[in-house]
Structure 1
Amino acid sequence: MAQWCYQSQYSCDDTCRDPSHWAALFPSCGGLRQSPINIVSSKVHVNSALPPFDFIGHTNTLNITVENKGHSAHFHLPQSVRLTGGALPGHYRASQFHFHWGGNGNPGSEHTIDGERFPMELHIVHIKEPYGTLAEAEHDLAGIALLGFLFEESADDHPHLDPIIAALGRVQNNGSTTVIPNFRLSDVIPSSRELHNYYRYVGSITTPGCEQAVTWTLFHKTLAISSRQLDAIVKQCRFWNGQPMTNIFRPTQPLDGRVVYRSSAVKPLSSAFHLWFCFLLAAALGTTGLIH
């Protein structure tokens, strides 16, 4: 079977199949619940039943393996990193995280917001318990929970991305691996109290076979990356055919009648503010004769 590839590879090597031809090799890639999508903010439905997440093991210090998979680099996570809440139907164990980026100064996120593509996107892949592998979870419509984070360019470096960039430089070729010692996922993504606001929709894996078994969560809060770090990331790795690993994103797919939801969660009141508010409320009720 012919190899699949991104458009940037296909432009140099027409022996592989670019995203517009993935469905010919992998029928699910032509399904009606494909990802990524363009999120039109004016058409999003607010859903008050989307609560915050509970992250487990995100602050643990880990030694994680990084592997060049030929199409991207995977950062493998242990099963002690877990996820609950967020209206997910069960408990989910982390599998790996990876990034999607552009090249030559072009943005490379997979999801877009109101047509805007962001510089880079982080995906954290979780598998529903009790499944042991991604292949097992793909047969459950809610078997995979994918967390997406969009990056925005900032004047300052992200303080914890340089070890990731260095690791990518050690896995330049397909199949090569390395280890990042003393890694904490909480160094890369914000704490759960900053992640109450997110988009939610049902979709698919964004690479072949495009299995439609994903509950997608795309957080409103963006992550920072400097132009120096972004330039460094896109220059580190090579595809399976030896070409530079750039523009590793699938174009957005039709919504096909799906609804995108937005959580209505708000930041919890601080204890001081809560006491102050209760005092004012009691005073107001007292002046109206409702408190005796």
Structure 2
Amino acid sequence: MGFSLFLQILLLLFSQCKAQWCYQSQYCDDTCKDPSRWATQFPSCGGLRQSPINIVTSKVHINSALPPFNFIGHTDIINITVENKGHSAHFALPQSVRLTGGALPGTYRAAQFHFHWGGNGRPGSEHTIDGERFPMELHIVHIKEPYGSLAEAEHDMAGIALLAFLFEETTEDHPHLDNVIAALGQVQNNGSSTVIPNFRLSDVIPVAKDLHSYYRYVGSMTTPGCEQAVAWTVFHRTLSISSGQLNAIVKQCRFWTGLPMTDIFRPTQPLDGRVVYCSKSGTAQKSVIHLRFSVFSVILATMTLMH
């Protein structure tokens, strides 16, 4: 490689770093903002309602106003597009996939789902439970109707509903993750995309009757600009993944910098006075209070006081 070409590549990488945010694992130039410095470029990332968090089970508040969810379109057979976004891979979902219930104030349309993982045997979930980080985490992003985009929804305190599932390592393969892993292998580079045919979201997540137990808190998106408009639901029910599948999934994609896409999770953020609620069906959790009114009335009032 000629020196001039080498210099051009370095200058291109430098200019990208100035305009981009990074995960710590990317080892980008000093001008690229890792999670500890996101707030210098994206002010909302320094707010008081940031995600993810560490959930301390002895301090959650059991709330009988957290009912089950209604999943719409989760069993439909669909074709979904997968795209490498440079920091993670997004699996686009059609608007026919919807969500109601769960004390959410309205109907929410699915937008996409994505995963957060570690690398080389390191755990990579974003949320932690009593300080424990899990091997991987799935996020399903929903937008409140009638908003047409995340940009519109972020101006509503509950404009975005995010469902989070933590993975636990098992001896047996998850029966439906191999097609997901294969798709990731086809979108190795930033901007590349592929299609998964005949996909059903219910093949990846449990049926609704097994998802009555969950944590709820108000927070933010976990990537810049860290919009503080998210009603978070972290389910007690974990998903399975074998060590072989976990090792495979972290080797498929590359960051926009060309480096392996590993350790794609934001560190946990301070709770800053927020309350983490637990649905009544999570009876194994320690109760400190039983509320008689809607959890969202409490949540929105708390958020108002924080402004």
TM-score between the two structures when normalised by the length of structure 2:
0.86
Q: 1:206 to 1:266 in 2, by over 3 A?
A: closer
Matches within 5 A, 1:50-69: 50-69=66-85
Q: Secondary structure at the match of 1:168?
A: helix
Partners of 2:59 and 2:106 in 1: how far apart?
Answer: 28
1:87 alignment partner in structure 2? 103
What corresponds to 1:5 in structure 2? 22
Q: Is contact 1:52–1:265 with CA below 8 Å preserved after alignment? A: no
CA distance in 1 between counterparts of 2:180 and 2:225 reads 27
- 2:125 equivalent among 98, 109, 117: 109
Q: 2:219 aligns with which of 181, 184, 203?
A: 203
Task: Quote the residue 1:28 is aligned against.
Answer: 44
**Residue-pair matches, total:** 266
Alignment match of 1:162 (pick from 175, 178, 183): 178
Pair 1:119 & 2:142 matched: no
Output aligned runs, 1:113-262, within 5 Å: 113-262=129-278
Q: Which moved more, 1:132-141 or 1:109-118?
A: 132-141
| 1:75-96 CA-partner distances (Å, limit 9, x unpaired) | 0000000000000000000000
Contact 2:22 2:28 in 1 (8 A): no
User: Could you tell me the percent identity over the aligned residues?
Assistant: 83
Three-state SS of the structure 2 residue aligned to 1:152 is strand
Match of 2:20, SS state, is coil
Q: Deviations over 1:125-169 (max 9, x none)?
A: 000000011111011110000000000000000000000000000
Task: Provide closer, same or farther for how the CA distance between residues 200 and 179 of structure 1 changes in structure 2, counting only shifts above 3 A.
Answer: same
Deviation at 1:103, TM superposition (A): 0.3
Q: Distance in 2 between matches of 1:73 and 1:6?
A: 14
CA distance, structure 1, for counterparts of residue 153 and residue 104 of structure 2: 14
Q: Which amino acid aligns with 2:252?
A: Q
- The one-character-per-residue Cα deviations of 1:108-133 (angstroms, maximum 9, x if unpaired) are 00000000000000000000000011
4+ aligned runs moved over 2 Å, structure 1: 11-15
Secondary structure of the corresponding residue to residue 253 of structure 2: coil
CA drift at 1:16: 1.1
The superposition leaves residues 44-66 of structure 1 with CA deviations (integer Å, 9 ceiling, x where unpaired) of 00000000000000000000000
The CA distance in 1 between the partners of 2:43 and 2:277, in whole Å, is 27
CA RMSD of aligned residues (A): 1.0
Change (3 A) 1:266 1:212: closer
**Which residue of the partner structure matches residue 48 of structure 1?**
64
Give deviations 1:7-43, integer Å, cap 9, x for gaps: 001x354331100000000000000000000000000
Determine the C-alpha separation between the residues in 1 that align with 2:206 and 2:162. 16
Which of the two has higher C-alpha Rg? Answer: 1
TM-score by length of 1: 0.90
Structure 2 Cα separation of the partners of residues 64 and 266 of structure 1: 33
Amino acid at match of 1:8: S
Letter in 1 for 2:233: T
Code of the residue aligned with 1:6 in structure 2: it is Y
Unaligned runs of 5+ in 1: 268-292
Q: How many Å apart are 1:266 and its aligned residue?
A: 7.0
